[in-house]
Amino acid sequence: MRALSATSAAPRKLCARALASYFAFGAVSTDEAILEGVRRLPPGHTLEWKGGRISIERYWRLPIGRAAPSTFDDEVRELRPILKEAVRLRLIADVPVGIFLSGGIDSSVLVALATQASDTPVHTFTVTFDEAAYSEAPYAAEVARRFGCTHPAGASASEPRCPGDRRRGAGARSTRGGRRQHLLRPPRRPAPPASPSPSPASAATSSSRAMARSAPSADRSRS
């Protein structure tokens, strides 16, 4: 999209239908792009431009067939190695990797598989709120304890726990309902304290001393 908008191939005009889809669903759900006159290439298709003409062909189709009946245990045995390999591949990184843990089934399964594939404790994080009805911290803490994860204690949206931010509420803003959302930015440095203004008495004393230094003595004036 940036390459197209940098040329004259596409007008720099927003598509009203795509924009409405983005505001309604958080993404463009149609085959149109956010720019007027631009369409997205469907998945599994190739586009060829040759001699001023465009041809679109489908190169892959999801194989959908009638599989043989299987039991739940068979499905589990087939799914388990796929998930383990997917988690192992995503742990390969040159930076520390962490997992958002809510204590539910999905994130707990990821933590369990990541623990098996990692030689070091897995870092887990949980975003909670001060309201007990919305807090998933107890469930997440129990899963983290079960698998020996490195899990921060007491991290909440109103009291962030992240490197470089040790003050309560620093880098957070209020949202609807009184909740506070952390913006993951370093805290502002406190302004240097202002120097106190001199009192009238001290100012008068300083002025008297300055006049005394500048005025010549009586002996010097007679000589």
Average pLDDT over residues 34-52: 89
Residue 213 belongs to a domain: no
Residues 84 and 129 in one domain: yes
Residues 53 and 124 in one domain: no
Confidence band of 219 (pLDDT split at 50, 70, 90): very low
Residues 54 and 89 in one domain: no
pLDDT at 29: 83
Residues 83 and 150 in one domain: yes
Length of the chain, in residues: 223
Average pLDDT over residues 19-32: 88
Residues 99 and 139 in one domain: yes
Last residue of a domain, one of 105, 138, 155: 155
Residues 80 and 129 in one domain: yes
Residue 106 belongs to a domain: yes
Confidence band of 57 (pLDDT split at 50, 70, 90): very high
Residue 199 belongs to a domain: no
Give the C-alpha separation, 114 to 89, whole Å: 10
Residues 98 and 51 in one domain: no
Residue 217 belongs to a domain: no
Last residue of a domain, one of 96, 127, 155: 155
Give the C-alpha separation, 149 to 130, whole Å: 23
Long-range pairs for 134-139: beta carbons < 8 A, 24 or more residues apart: 136/102, 136/103, 136/104, 138/103, 139/102, 139/103, 139/104
Nearest to 182 by CA among 205, 198, 199, 164: 164
pLDDT at 58: 94
pLDDT per position as a tens digit, 63-85: 777 667 788 898 889 999 999 99
Residue 124: domain span: 74-155
Give the C-alpha separation, 80 to 103, whole Å: 20
Residue 15 belongs to a domain: yes
Give the C-alpha separation, 99 to 143, whole Å: 12
Residue 96 belongs to a domain: yes
The residue assigned the tokens 């958002």 is: 100
Q: Which residues pair with 174 in a beta bridge?
A: 180
The residue assigned the tokens 């004393």 is: 205
Amino acid at 3: A
Last residue of a domain, one of 155, 183, 212: 155
pLDDT at 181: 39
pLDDT per position as a tens digit, 139-195: 999 999 999 999 986 545 454 444 444 433 333 443 434 444 333 333 444 555 555
pLDDT at 182: 38
Residues 46 and 96 in one domain: no
pLDDT per position as a tens digit, 84-127: 999 999 999 988 889 999 989 999 999 999 999 999 999 999 98
| Cβ(185)–Cβ(171) below 8 Å | yes
pLDDT at 55: 94
pLDDT at 64: 78
The residue assigned the tokens 């085959």 is: 31
- Count of domains observed in the chain: 2
pLDDT at 190: 52
Check pLDDT > 80 for residue 41: yes
Residue 7 belongs to a domain: yes
Residues 85 and 149 in one domain: yes
Residue 40 belongs to a domain: yes
